[in-house]
Amino acid sequence: MTDSKTASKSTAPMAGADPEVASGVSQFFTPLVHELTVLAINGKQAHWNVRGRDFLEVHEFLDTVVDHAQEWADLAAERVVALGLPIDARMATIASGSAAANPKAGFKQSDDTIADVVAQIDVATARVNAAIEGLEELDPASQDVAIAIRQGLDKDRWFLAAHVSVT
């Protein structure tokens, strides 16, 4: 895969945006976008391959987790872009920077599937916690975005973990 020749090469914030704020938000939100994208991709993999007694509930809720992760990744990415900086969420970039474990391929029992997805939610939560802390003084509006994402991650984790004894 090659970079598009028509893409802007500018990485300077747009006129009117504070370059320090834009850079700081990008520093916290880019890794978050990456982890949420990994959560969406691996969540879909889990959705296709889950097996077990509570198959239907887990299978269907994993689609919800995927949808949420995609929405939140978009929200964080668009905040960076709104401040005038580009975001790099190409597959190669995401794969090289994610802290999430790569789940095993193939069918898995629902308890194992849930544990894997909860672990990935925990990785994304750690990234969003760093953003919440780091953006407190830098950009309260961006911190509000991070807080909203955290609230959603907490709820999705709770709904999944309720199926098994994952803490």
pLDDT recorded at residue 50: 97
Residue 85 above 60 pLDDT?
A: yes
Quick one: pLDDT at residue 17? Answer: 72
Q: Shortest CA distance to 117 belongs to which of 157, 59, 70? A: 157
pLDDT grade for 6, boundaries at 50, 70 and 90: very low
Q: What is the pLDDT of residue 9?
A: 46
Which amino acid does the sequence have at 116?
D
pLDDT tens-digit readout, 123-148? 999 999 999 999 999 999 999 999 99
**pLDDT at residue 67 in the model:** 98
Mean pLDDT throughout 116-128? 97
C-alpha torsion sign, points 141, 142, 145, 147:
negative
What pTM value is reported for the model?
0.88
- Is the model's pLDDT at 153 over the cut of 60? yes
* CA 62 to chain CA centroid, nearest Å: 14
Tell me the DSSP string of 106-163: S-EEHHHHHHHHHHHHHHHHHHHHHHHHHHHHH-HHHHHHHHHHHHHHHHHHHHHHTT
Per the prediction, the chain carries an average pLDDT of 90
Q: Is the pLDDT of residue 77 over 80?
A: yes
